[in-house]
Amino acid sequence: MSKEEESSVYHVQDEVSLLRASLGGEVEAWGEIVSRYKEAILGLCVGFLRNHPDAEDISHDTFIRAYENLHRYHMEKRFSTWIFTIASNLCRNRLRYRRRHPIVPLPVQMEGGCSPAITIAQEDRQAQIRQGLSRLSYRYRAPITLRYYNDLSYHQIARILSLPEGTIKTHIHRGKARLRQEIGKMEVVNHAQG
């Protein structure tokens, strides 16, 4: 069987078959798992860490850690919850490390000199939301990111963050209220400057 034929076989296989093949040492099967989850894991990490290079590092570490511990994964449970839990824990560890070892951030350089006149309203709103999220504490930012950027259920988020489902709902509700306040503050500042 050619590599192209193997690749197409992996695309139609169900996740459990891919995970079993990965446990058996089939690198292509694990590659398919990575390709299915890489964007979601990176998005989760960016949402938690607010730093793209750190998020990329943690994303890579997540897949390495998951592969090394795949024998501990219970096939009857959702793989997405398991791997999101690994990513979430690694993000928490990175945030703890940052608190203990603060660094002075370098000024961010904008690529291509984007002009506000070119930016469309929807992109501006998304930027405001991301900026507002970055100002929220991890307690609120984590469940909101999992819910709205990764489309997870309250139950899944509760398992990933090791919190009761009711607490997750409360944190999302309060986090959304605080996010609206942050966006409102930014709009007032932007209006005053304009």
Classify each residue of 140-175 as buried b or exposed e, where b means 16 or more C-beta atoms within 10 Å of its C-beta. Answer: bbbbbbbbebbebebebbbbbbebeeeebeebbeeb
**d(C-alpha 37, C-alpha 97), whole Å:** 25
| Res 109: pLDDT | 40
The kind and range of the H/E element at 51 are none
| Res 81: pLDDT | 92
For the range 165-170, what are the long-range contacts, defined as Cβ-Cβ under 8 Å and sequence gap of 24 or more? 168/143
Query: The whole model's pTM is what?
Result: 0.61
Q: Where are the domains of the chain?
A: 13-102, 115-194
Q: What's the sign of the alpha-carbon dihedral 166, 185, 124, 131?
A: negative
| Res 42: pLDDT | 92
For the range 136-141, what are the long-range contacts, defined as Cβ-Cβ under 8 Å and sequence gap of 24 or more? 136/175, 136/178, 136/179, 136/182, 138/48, 138/92, 138/95, 139/171, 139/175, 140/171, 140/172, 140/174, 140/175, 140/178, 140/179, 141/47, 141/48, 141/175
Q: Position 63: which residue type?
A: F
| Res 114: pLDDT | 47
CATH for the stretch 115-194: 1.10.10.10
Encode pLDDT of 75-129 as tens digits: 888 999 999 999 999 999 988 887 776 654 434 444 444 444 444 556 667 777 7
Contacts of 37 (CB under 8 A, 6+ apart): 63, 80, 83
**d(C-alpha 59, C-alpha 86), whole Å:** 10
Per-residue pLDDT of the chain in tens (194 residues, 90 and over written 9)? 545 445 444 544 689 999 999 999 898 999 999 999 999 999 899 888 888 889 999 999 999 999 999 999 998 889 999 999 999 999 999 888 877 766 544 344 444 444 444 445 566 677 777 788 888 888 898 898 888 877 788 998 998 888 999 999 999 999 888 888 888 877 766 656 65
| Res 47: pLDDT | 85
| Res 18: pLDDT | 93
| Res 130: pLDDT | 79
| Res 32: pLDDT | 94
Selected from 1.10.645.10, 1.10.3720.10, 1.10.1740.10, 1.10.10.10, the CATH number assigned to the domain covering 13-102 reads 1.10.1740.10
